[in-house]
Amino acid sequence: MKLVIFGPPSAGKGTQAQKLSKKYGIPQVATGDLLREHVAKKTQIGIKVKSYLDSGRLGPDELIVQMIGERVSRPDCINGYLLDGFPRTIGQAQELEKMTDVDLVLNIVVDFEALAERAVGRRSCPKCAAVYHIEFNTPKVQGICDKCGSKLIQRDDDKEETVRNRFRVFKEQTAPLIEYYRKKGKILDIDGSGGIDAVFGRLVAAIETIRT
């Protein structure tokens, strides 16, 4: 079973991808993690892509496609995988088609105001990386990390203006891809509102439609 998951920043896509990976026994292939792994190991791809990452870019399609192709050819992907953060362009989607047939694209849809509320209320521990929320997941002592006692901070990534810009960029970049997969009849929109378990239930229900 070969899946792709889309979702705007702060929509909980990474968390859902991890849960789906565990439930179905297929690896989560996350582009960001793979890029960091290649850079850390100083592979040929890592050396080439480092200069792009250092300047805040992802790197050219051919490098990203090469990296994904190498990853999905490993033995743990023989029964399928979940692509997270790939494809990002029509060109990448077309190259992916040359490698394999995608069974289903899961598109998590979240209202911007709900997304902003989720992101802007997030507080992070700079020491142990624990994450809290001022409404949905409060620490025992306001502003203090339960795990290590450090003072919690609001990351720049979680400030409203940043969230708004990232959401706009995501919509601009992903809209053509969503249309591309919609024409192929391979995409399902998933309501991303509510708690983690509610969204997970909707994702599982969508996946089960292609397993029966």
Q: Is 88 a catalytic residue?
A: yes
Tens-place pLDDT, residues 115-146? 888 888 999 999 998 989 998 889 999 999 99
Q: Which of 2, 13, 118, 202 is catalytic?
A: 13
Structural domains of the chain ordered from first start: 2-110+171-211 (3.40.50.300)
Place 153 in a pLDDT band, splitting at 50, 70 and 90: very high
Percent of the chain with pLDDT over 70: 98
Secondary structure (DSSP) of the chain: -EEEEE--TTSSHHHHHHHHHHHHT--EEEHHHHHHHHHHHT-HHHHHHHHHHHTT----HHHHHHHHHHHHTSGGGTT-EEEES---SHHHHHHHHHH----EEEEEE--HHHHHHHHHTEEE-TTT--EEETTTB--SBTTB-TTT-PBPB--GGGSHHHHHHHHHHHHHHHHHHHHHHHHTT-EEEEE--S-HHHHHHHHHHHHHHHH-
Q: What is the mean pLDDT of the chain?
A: 90
Tens-place pLDDT, residues 34-81? 888 898 899 988 888 888 777 766 678 888 999 999 999 999 999 999
* Contact between 134 and 91 (Cβ < 8 Å): no
Predicted local confidence at residue 55, as pLDDT: 72
Structure tokens of 174? 């992903």
Give pTM, 2 decimals.
Answer: 0.81
Q: Which of 42, 74, 151, 155 is catalytic?
A: 155
Structure tokens of 165? 């810009």
| C-alpha torsion 43→47→52→53, nearest 10 | 60
Predicted local confidence at residue 188, as pLDDT: 96
Tens-place pLDDT, residues 176-211? 999 999 999 999 999 998 888 999 999 999 999 998
What are the two backbone dihedrals, phi and then psi, of residue 93, each rounded to the nearest 5 degrees?
Answer: -65, -40
Q: Which of 36, 166, 182, 186 is catalytic?
A: 166
Q: Which of 2, 118, 122, 202 is catalytic?
A: 122
